[in-house]
Every structure is written in structure tokens, then in C-alpha cells.
Amino acid sequence: MYYFLKEDYHALRGKIAEIENRMKGISGDMARMSEEGADAFHDNAGHEMATEGLRGWSSNIRVMIDIKNNAKIIEPTDKNDRVRFGNYVTYQEVGQEQEFRRRIGSYMVFVDEDSTISYNSPLAILLLDAEIGDIREGMIGGVKKQFEILDIE
């Protein structure tokens, strides 16, 4: 099961439609190229590139459709006693002054990408279920880090 905020789920559906349209365009280009003649298209670099492009998009869309078909939209909670899906959390690395504010978001984040992280990311996994004042420790990018939870919204 893949969990999504409503806005990211709708964006995922939009991306799938965009890829489908791109694939239709590539298929149309390939049909036009093959009409040049039976002897020409097998040595046609454009046709070969289009074929490879279509394979890549086909693989990509299969994965996205599988995710969509196994997705569940979760409404963010208004509870802020601990870090949950959909919450904003303010934290800082222990011993550092800079504060960070991130939203724990969807499996795939499409909307508000700058401040939202996937619930499946190492940082989100570390922060989930923490309470204000908790210090969480774990590996982020291969480096051991400690984060203090400052606020939950």
C-alpha cells in the first residue's frame, strides 16, 4: 500500500496522463517513420531512438500505474502530539543552530516539493512518532545524525 495526500494523488494521476500522451506521440512518430518504406525504418536512427524512448516510458508508466492502483489517500490529522503523516515538524540537528521545517508527505511528493518529504524517506522514518523535545538518532546519507523535535503542526 502506498499512502498519498490528496493533492499528490491527483498529481500522480496527472503525470500518468502526461506520460500516456507522450507515448501516443512517440507511437505516432514511429508509425510515420515506418511509412517511409519497409527497407528504410530498420536503419532509421530516429525510429530506433523512438523505440527506445517508448520502452523507457512504458516501463515508467507501469510502475506509476501500479503505485496508483495500490494507493490510499490519507487525510492529514489535526493532532500534533507526535509527528504523523501530513504534519509539519520543526527540528534541528543537535549542536547546530539552524532549524528546519518539513512536512511528512506522500510516498511520491509532487506538490510543495521544497518543504515536503516522503514518509518513506530516511529522515521521515526517523522523525515519525516523535514528540516535542524528543531527540532522534539515525543514519542520514550515511552519516549518524541526532535531531531534536522543536514543534509539530
Per-block mean pLDDT, blocks of 10 residues, the chain (153 long):
97 93 73 60 61 72 94 93 97 97 96 92 98 97 97 97
Query: pTM of the full predicted structure?
Result: 0.79
pLDDT at 45: 63
Residues 69 and 126 in one domain: no
Position 60 scores a pLDDT of 84
Is residue 8 situated within a structural domain? yes
Return the C-alpha cell found at 71: 494507493
The whole-angstrom separation of Cα 106 and Cα 109 is 5
Q: Identify whether 26 is part of a domain.
A: yes
Do 67 and 104 lie in a common domain?
no
Range of the domain at 18: 2-73
CB half-sphere exposure, 38, CA atoms < 13 A: 0
Inter-axis angle of helices 45-69 and 6-34, to 10 degrees? Answer: 150
CATH number for the domain spanning 24: value is 1.10.287
